[in-house]
Amino acid sequence: MPALRRGLAVLRLIAGKAGPVTAAALARELALPRSTTYHLLAELADAGFVTHLPASGRAMLAHLPAAQVRALFPNRAAFVDRTGRGPAHLPALRGVLARERWRGWAVEDGHVSAGFASVAAPVFDHGGHPVAAISTTFRHTCPGAAECGEHWPDLAAATLRAAVELGGRIGGRPR
């Protein structure tokens, strides 16, 4: 299968899934070698077509059962590091998700794309399960630690309101 066709198959499979997809699952479902799968994902990520652990994904992951998160990230190979700023293993991800679950919203600053940050809030269905997320992404450079994140709570509050409103429109209930 030519490289372009493989890359498109990866994109189609990811687009057809309701949640995050591990590289191992992609390799298995597309019958591709793992090394080929990781190479394709790296190229697609570099081109901006796939992202790893954006705030919107983490907003949803924070409310999934621990076993489901573990299944999505079974080992260090499941963690793709584009910028050197995100969690690199499951214990680190669990810590991030616990803080984001407690806070009610997720944030990433340069984890997906350097110079950009996002805040995101989950949208819950009628059973209280995360089914979507609303994210606000903005250009963000942080010249000094004192200025980092000072507007995130305000942006997160607006994003949370939008997520709660959308959840209400689909019969959801906030957690």
Question: Whose structure tokens read 């990866």?
Answer: 10
135 φ, ψ (degrees, to nearest 5)? -130, 145
pLDDT (tens place) for every residue of the chain, 175 residues total: 588 888 888 888 877 776 667 777 888 999 998 888 877 877 776 666 666 678 888 899 999 889 888 877 777 777 766 666 778 888 999 999 999 999 999 988 877 777 788 899 999 999 998 988 999 988 877 665 555 666 788 889 999 999 999 999 999 877 7
User: How many whole angstroms separate alpha carbon 62 and alpha carbon 158?
Assistant: 19
Instruction: Give the H or E element holding residue 37.
Output: helix 34-46
For 104: left if phi > 0, alpha if psi spans -120 to 50, otherwise beta; the answer is: left
Residue 154 in tokens: 């305000």
User: How many whole angstroms separate alpha carbon 108 and alpha carbon 101?
Assistant: 14
pLDDT of residue 83: 67
Where do the domains of the chain lie, and which CATH numbers do they carry? 1-50 (1.10.10), 52-175 (3.30.450.40)
Q: What is the dihedral of CA 162, 165, 167, 169, to 10 degrees?
A: -140
The maximal CA–CA distance of the chain, rounded, in angstroms, is 51
